[in-house]
Amino acid sequence: MDKQLLTAFLLGVVQGVAEFLPISSSGHLVLGETLLRRWTGISAGNPSATGGLFFNVALHLATLLAILVVYRAELRELPRRRRLVGMIVLASVPAAVVGLTLKDWFETAFQTPEVAGIGLLVTSVLLVAGQRWETRRDGLQDLTWQQALLVGMFQAAALVPGISRSGSTIAAGLLAGLRREAATTFSFLIAIPAIGGAALLESLDHVRQGGAGAAGGRPDWQALGIGMAAAFLFGLLSLRWLIGLVNRGRLARFACYTAAVGALTLVLCGVS
């Protein structure tokens, strides 16, 4: 396997694990691309490699498929649970507004390891807070619009590299009074429109640019395929593992890891 394909595979593994475990996939992709570029001389953001942000979205699309597989039973029930559908739509609004408004800034942030380092430290705080002050009152059937909107606002904040989408939204659900299983389920139900919408918008941008990637070149479709396959398989395993961990009250165990990686990143970048 050449360096380019190996890079795509490794980034797919990182995406599959970090998308679901509360350690921030976007932050690790930024850090992973930086390290791999130094070690191999090839960047997933290089036009000869995988098309930059388009590659990142492709990996998110693969993990979206993993969510659809794991939560297929809940998704089949949605047509009969219109109130829950409304809550999902409401919670999706903040990320859509912020993502569309600040799209250029986020593209720049994806090239900035310092932002990812700070975001990882924020994730640590959220994980500890969510477990420390959870109240576990409500199930999904009791979800209010205020709770849904709060979780949605945390999902919008997680657009910043380093802030874990799963960690922040699960923590928000726990802080808002949801039970552990309900907080986890709602977190990943609202991930479906968020990830799907991001993939659609990036694909449209890709087409409008004549098939050019974010850096101006054509993606390597073989590398994309390898990366997506790795992201799906490892994502499936990671999601099932996370559900068990949250149900056992072990969400905060990841805080030490994200704090350590975040601090190390800032030290290496000369910020701290």
Q: What is the structure's pLDDT at 271?
A: 52
Of 156-160, 204-208, 220-224, the range with the highest mean pLDDT is: 156-160
Q: Tally the residues of the chain.
A: 272
Question: In this structure, what is the dihedral angle of CA atoms 184, 190, 195, 201, given to the nearest 10 degrees?
Answer: -170
User: Phi/psi class of residue 144: alpha, beta or left (left: φ > 0; alpha: ψ in -120 to 50)?
Assistant: beta
Number of domains in the chain: 1
pTM of the model: 0.85
Q: 27 is in which domain, residue-wise?
A: 3-268
Could you give the count of Cα atoms lying within 13 Å of 80 in the half-sphere of its Cβ? 5
What are the pLDDT digits (tens) for 105-128?
Answer: 887 887 788 899 999 999 999 999
Q: What is the mean pLDDT of the chain?
A: 86
Do 24 and 161 touch, CB atoms closer than 8 A? yes
Q: What is the structure's pLDDT at 18?
A: 83
Q: What is the structure's pLDDT at 202?
A: 73
